[in-house]
Amino acid sequence: MATGHSQTHGEELVTRVDHEHAPPDRYLMPEFPPNFATMYEAIAGQTITGHAIEIHPGKRPHLGHSWFVTPAFSILYAILIIAAIRWVLRRASMERPDRRQMAVEMLMGGLRNFFGGIMGREIADKYLPFLGSLWIFILVNNLGVLVPGMKSPTYSWKLTFALALVTFCYVQYQAIRAAGFWGWFKHLMGEPLWLAPLQFPLHVLGEIIKPISLALRLFGNIFGEDKLLATFLGMGMLLVGGVFGTATPFVGIPFALPFYFLVLLLSIVQATVFALLASIYIMLLLPHDEHEEHGGTPHVPTVGAPSSLATPSAH
Amino acid sequence: MDPVFANSIMMLALALAAIGSSIGLGWAISSAMGAMGRQPEAAGRIQTAMIIGCALIEALTIYVFVTVLIIFFLS
């Protein structure tokens, strides 16, 4: 497992382990919190070479290549959660609900109330399958870093941009389905029709920028959290390594422990914000006369308010 | 340019963005807290609007962070 530097001297390829010139790895910060692979490498390196921290000589403990932190693995998380929820709800009974069914119903009811407070009950029930699964998926993927030996799959910009792309396609599809193609196009053209050459590029640009800002926000937050944890882990390793000579990634975990609570809070907030902004993007693109009677958000301009006063409010 | 100097400039940019964003966040949250204290029955809707606003405010810092990362990895 000692991978050295490869240097070409003329024709021959000389592979050697550069122990002397490489800086010792305890002076290098880890890039991410440790996962199973690097912990195994740390333990195995300790037993083999006697130096705990020298995992790859001259290289940082690099954690980016494990298969279980790639975004493909996070789909497995989602499938597991959906399978668990379906398994619980398959044995649901109205007469004698058991504990698991109560938990799932609390989760679903909480999501329904949350989005119902924003969009109004009827609209929220229509879009709840997408928004709720988006929330659960992002939350589980954000919380991956709390398990020692894993990191959040959303630290990667690829996953967040994929989520934003899915959100973009879903929002546009629902807007076209609700208003019809010409209604959607007319919405992009803007209200006074003679300003359409000015407003159409702005609206199209706004529709494209919204998912990009969603993706960048999620990526930046989760990446920053992972970097924060890794930095404090590395500071613990530096401290212990400076006193005792060697250090494993385990000794840094107490130093990073206060920030696990911060990560717990921020993960929930970021998942909520993603789903919330997705719901607001749906609401902004819906035809205006459909949701004016609920008055869920202050963002939506209420066109034709007197007619909405005549209809009884839904809630 | 000296890479240490360039790195310090990027750190300074991030710190400035964090300062501005924290001022905005403090203002928004204090206003929301005051509104919730005056109208406790509207606390849910105020909280939702506050979370949206906080996300939009702190997105600016995140944009600076991402920009700094891109410049750091490209240079």
CB contact under 8 A, B51 and A216: no
Q: Is the per-residue pLDDT at B51 higher than 80?
A: yes
Residue A71's nearest CA partner among A180, A178, A164 is A164
Prediction ipTM score: 0.77
Structure confidence at residue A243 as a pLDDT band (50, 70, 90):
confident
Q: What is the mean pLDDT of residues A201-219?
A: 91
Q: What is the mean pLDDT of residues A3-28?
A: 44
Which pLDDT score is estimated for A59? 42
Contacts 24+ apart (CB under 8 A), A43-47: A43/A248, A44/A1, A45/A1, A46/A246, A46/A248
Q: Is the per-residue pLDDT at A293 higher than 80?
A: no
Q: A170 or A79: which carries more pLDDT confidence?
A: A170
Tell me the CB-side half-sphere exposure of residue A193, using CA atoms within 13 A.
2
Task: Point out the residue among B44, B49, B55 whose CB comes nearest to the CB of A273.
Answer: B55
Q: Which residues face A13 on adjacent strands?
A: A8
Tokens of A45: 């390196």
Determine the Cα–Cα distance for residues B13 and B19; give it in Å rounded to an integer: 10
**Tens-digit pLDDT profile for residues A47-78:** 333 344 444 443 444 444 444 555 566 677 77
Determine the Cα–Cα distance for residues A33 and A146; give it in Å rounded to an integer: 10
Task: Point out the residue among B48, B59, B69 whose CB comes nearest to the CB of A217.
Answer: B59
Class of residue A23 by CB neighbours under 10 A (exposed 0-12, middle 13-18, buried 19+): exposed
Q: A233 or B25: which carries more pLDDT confidence?
A: B25
Cβ atoms of residues A115 and A124 within 8 Å: yes
Q: Is the per-residue pLDDT at A204 higher than 60?
A: yes
Structure confidence at residue A259 as a pLDDT band (50, 70, 90):
confident
Q: Which residue of A has its CA nearest to B44?
A: A117
CB contact under 8 A, A117 and B48: yes
Determine the Cα–Cα distance for residues A217 and A228; give it in Å rounded to an integer: 16
Determine the Cα–Cα distance for residues A313 and A315; give it in Å rounded to an integer: 6
Which pLDDT score is estimated for A32? 54
Determine the Cα–Cα distance for residues B16 and B10; give it in Å rounded to an integer: 10
Which pLDDT score is estimated for B17? 93
Task: Point out the residue among B51, B59, B66 whose CB comes nearest to the CB of A276.
Answer: B51
Rounded to the nearest 10 degrees, the angle between the axes of helix A196-244 and helix A253-285 is 170
**Statement: the pTM of the whole predicted model exceeds 0.80:** no
Percentage with pLDDT > 90 across chain A: 15
Structure confidence at residue A258 as a pLDDT band (50, 70, 90):
confident
| DSSP-derived pairing of the beta strands A12-16 and A5-9 | antiparallel
Q: What is the mean pLDDT of residues A4-14?
A: 42
- A72's CB contacts (< 8 A; 6+ apart) are none
Q: Which residues of B4-21 are buried (b: 16+ CB within 10 A; e: fewer)?
A: eeeeeebeeebeebeeeb
Give whichever of A36-45, A46-55, A225-234, A240-249 has the largest mean pLDDT: A225-234
Give residue B14's region: left, alpha or beta (phi > 0; psi -120 to 50).
Answer: alpha
Average pLDDT, chain A: 72
Give whichever of A83-97, A231-245, A282-296, B10-24 has the largest mean pLDDT: B10-24
Which pLDDT score is estimated for A303? 41
Q: Is the per-residue pLDDT at A30 higher than 70?
A: no
Residue A186's nearest CA partner among A88, A50, A287, A98 is A287
Q: Is the per-residue pLDDT at A302 higher than 70?
A: no
Q: What is the mean pLDDT of residues A131-136?
A: 90
Which pLDDT score is estimated for A148? 63
Q: Is the per-residue pLDDT at A275 higher than 90?
A: yes
Q: What is the mean pLDDT of residues A285-313?
A: 48
Contacts 24+ apart (CB under 8 A), A38-44: A38/A62, A38/A63, A38/A249, A39/A149, A39/A249, A39/A250, A41/A1, A42/A248, A42/A249, A42/A250, A43/A248, A44/A1
**Tens-digit pLDDT profile for residues A85-121:** 888 888 777 787 788 888 888 988 999 998 988 888 8
Tokens of A199: 């407003």
Amino acid at residue number A70: T
Alpha helices in A120-156 (DSSP H): 121-142
Q: Is the per-residue pLDDT at A40 higher than 90?
A: no
CB contact under 8 A, A276 and B52: yes
Q: Which residues face A35 on adjacent strands?
A: A149
Distance, C-alpha A282 to centroid of its chain: 20
Cβ pairs A/B, distance under 8 A: 36
DSSP per-residue codes, B18-44: HHHHHHHHHHHHHHHHHHHHH-GGGHH
Which pLDDT score is estimated for A164? 94
CB contact under 8 A, A220 and B51: no
Q: What is the mean pLDDT of residues B37-62?
A: 88
Cβ atoms of residues A294 and A123 within 8 Å: yes
Tokens of A27: 């002076």
Q: What is the mean pLDDT of residues A245-257?
A: 71
